[in-house]
A and B are shown apart, each in its own frame.
Chain A
């Protein structure tokens, strides 16, 4: 019984049930498939989070984002006059997260690649591009660089899905893909 000591002193020498060993082999094989799938997807899959990241001071990141916005703003939107920025395909694009805003609004082209840089100026935030459902943790002091190639036109919401204070649920941004 599981509440009493094993009946054999040398319990580790007892034979084991046939279905136990069969199951262990099957389960281990499946674990190996799960393991191999990840490197496989790095080579053959199209959705991997890049390994590119830098340490950065919030002011430095903000400055880079401002410089991009100054150069490529095409119009302003919302009553807060948030710039809509349309950077050229293939370029470095900056997305600032801060309480409680994703800044600026981006306008990208379908099937073109961009180097999307994201960092936070204050607390942690959660990048969540909807409805395509791409999520990543955004950590102050770290600049994450993702290579993105949108494959569908539309208006995407950028939700914050890491709790970042009492205005968290108002933190919404936008990406247009044209």
Chain B
């Protein structure tokens, strides 16, 4: 007798497999737990960097900063990404997951590994920042924890690939995999490269920390570490771009403008992102300019091109879909009439705008070999990557969570009024934090620094008053962003516990990773996933152009060019260096 393992969500039409959905829930929930921990730490860090508050002691600050980076950038994001991988394979392809038992092993390793590092931080002897540059030593359990976590994540990646193979063999879908799954494949391939690079450096570092290896070359460490550290950011980009496409499809029924362009852009990520790790080493000694220029530009700019393409095609797809629905007035009616009160949309769209306009532009500018001289290790850098990961990735994941709570967890959102405001509050806070860190960094304020007034130093140096003031505003922004992040955690966890059950089988335990009641799973084999119907509306395909999006893209390009040359001008005022 065949067992019924699938359920069909009556609201979305998605099929969830019993084992896969439990894994998805467990990973997503743990991700949110780390977002909460990391967010509280971020609040403490931001309140310390605001000179007028200067909350924590120096030691506590450096520990909190190490834990903030690790918990939120690595654990929140990667736990959630593994959930995305299960969703993009098992759910979207209507396929049973490969070896779900191993999936739980992977989950367990990630859990244990992450807890080990957090314990190391709490013990206080591993405040080395998440980059853990040698020869500054952390405790062995810190490196071991990271390695276990990485192995767990790797298992998740292989299950994803295995699931794709099963789906292909069992013909659960027709034609090629959907674009969103394709994006997840990109993320997965980059993840495997990333973890290999991380293993290549963290294993020797672990041996070094227990005394089995006497020396690790710090420059080589940086090269390999960034092979992991940078590429892992590309996992995030691929994953959140896939989420953007998914949300565009869910809310608007948007189809990619053309499959070829969107998929080609994902392919560019795979081909060129790895080399871009070089932009972390632009002002390192012992590496030639030729190497730096080749690796950052040849590679990075083609990956940049890919992001610029997605930046056009995601809103472009929405615009085309909206225009077909009749929002055809002027350039922007499609955007004005979008569901701005729905956090799934507002979160996704602000993620896209802030990622592109702020994260993208600042990233490329500071990744220019010579311009890096005026930016390296200033607080500009955290300004940049809060635009990419804290708004770009995190807000996109928050947005899709609002969709998943009813669909995957079968709970109604609690406090929908608050949910409506949450993306705006988070983004407003983040924008203050980001823009003022960028500003202070341009004036030279260092990152990872407890006291820019140098009260305990043997000498004195006074940063410009405006720089100190900007750090104050950034701190206020950080507090507001933390409030916005807290609202998200409250709504998400609150809904899982107290939200109205949309399905009688959605028990408390099933919110946290146990399967729902057996009776919920009443489908043995889902219907095959059919190809997108050929252009639905009568109008001859290409008549609908995304003009508004194109104008937005030109505004983006103009900002990019202007900002680049402003920085080049600033660079030219420096001492002569050669």
Contacts and interface: CB of A to CB of B under 8 A. Distances in A.
Interface of A: 1-9, 11-20, 22-24, 26-28, 30-32, 34-35, 37-39, 41-42, 45-51, 53, 55, 77-80, 82, 101, 113, 122-124, 126, 128, 130-144, 146-152, 157, 159-174
B254 interface: yes
Contacts of B74: none
Interface of B: 58-59, 62, 92, 127-129, 133, 135-136, 173-180, 217-219, 222, 245-246, 248-250, 253-263, 281-286, 288-289, 293, 296-298, 301-302, 304-305, 308-309, 312-313, 316-317, 364, 368-370, 372-378, 442-444, 446-452, 454, 456-461, 463-464, 529-535, 542, 545-547, 549-550, 553, 557, 560-561, 564, 568, 571-572, 574-578
A131 B444 contact: yes
Contacts of A124: 133, 136, 218
Contacts of B574: 46-47, 132-134, 151
20 contacts: A2-B246, A5-B174, A24-B305, A27-B309, A37-B568, A38-B368, A46-B572, A46-B574, A46-B578, A48-B289, A50-B577, A78-B458, A123-B135, A124-B133, A124-B136, A128-B378, A130-B463, A131-B443, A148-B577, A163-B128
A141 B219 contact: yes
Given A16-B261, A37-B368, A163-B448, A135 B373 contact: yes
A16 B257 CA distance: 8
A147 B577 contact: yes
Given A162-B377, A172-B457, A5 B175 contact: yes
Contacts of B535: 7
Given A126-B446, A173-B459, A51 B257 contact: no
Nearest to A111: B576
A167 B530 CA distance: 62
B443 A14 contact: no
B309 A149 contact: no
Given A5-B532, A6-B531, A16-B260, A123 B446 contact: no
Contacts of B305: 24, 27-28, 31
Contacts of A20: 257-258, 261, 309, 312-313, 316
Q: Which 6 A-B pairs have the closest CB atoms?
A: A157-B461, A161-B446, A144-B285, A149-B576, A5-B175, A31-B301
A2 B255 contact: yes
Contact of B577 (A15, A46, A159, A165): A46
A78 B177 CA distance: 68
B556 to A, nearest CB: 10
B245 A4 contact: no
A101 B456 CA distance: 12
A47 B282 CA distance: 13
B458 A150 contact: no
B289 to A, nearest CB: 6
A142 B219 contact: yes
Nearest to A42: B289
B157 to A, nearest CB: 21
A151 B154 CA distance: 52
Grouping DSSP codes into helix (H, G, I), strand (E, B) and loop, the A interface class, with mixed when no group exceeds half, is mixed
Given A31-B304, A141-B218, A171-B457, A5 B178 contact: yes
Contacts of B282: 49
Contacts of B534: 7-8
Contacts of A140: 135, 218
A41 B373 CA distance: 13
Nearest to B449: A169
Contacts of B222: 137, 139
Contacts of B378: 128, 133, 135, 161
A138 B222 CA distance: 12
Given A20-B261, A50-B578, A5 B284 contact: no
Nearest to A27: B308
A16 B258 contact: yes
Contact of B530 (A4, A132, A147): A4
Contacts of A5: 173-178, 529-532
B458 A82 contact: yes
A3 B456 CA distance: 57
B258 A151 contact: no
B578 A147 contact: yes
B173 A15 contact: no
B449 A168 contact: yes
A9 to B, nearest CB: 5
A37 B364 CA distance: 13
A136 B283 contact: yes
Given A24-B309, A45-B571, A126-B446, 6 more contacts: A3-B249, A14-B259, A17-B545, A80-B458, A152-B575, A169-B450
Contacts of B316: 17, 19-20
A38 B301 CA distance: 12
A35 B256 CA distance: 30
A139 B218 contact: yes
Contacts of A139: 218-219, 222, 284-286
A30 to B, nearest CB: 6
A14 B258 contact: yes
Contact of B454 (A8, A22, A35, A169): A169
Contact of A47 (B175, B253, B293, B577): B577
Contacts of B317: 2
A144 B287 CA distance: 10
Contacts of A128: 377-378, 444, 446
Nearest to B179: A2
Most buried by B among A17, A48, A55, A139: A17
B458 A53 contact: no
Contacts of A7: 255, 531-535
Nearest to A119: B285
A126 to B, nearest CB: 5
Contacts of B218: 124, 139-142
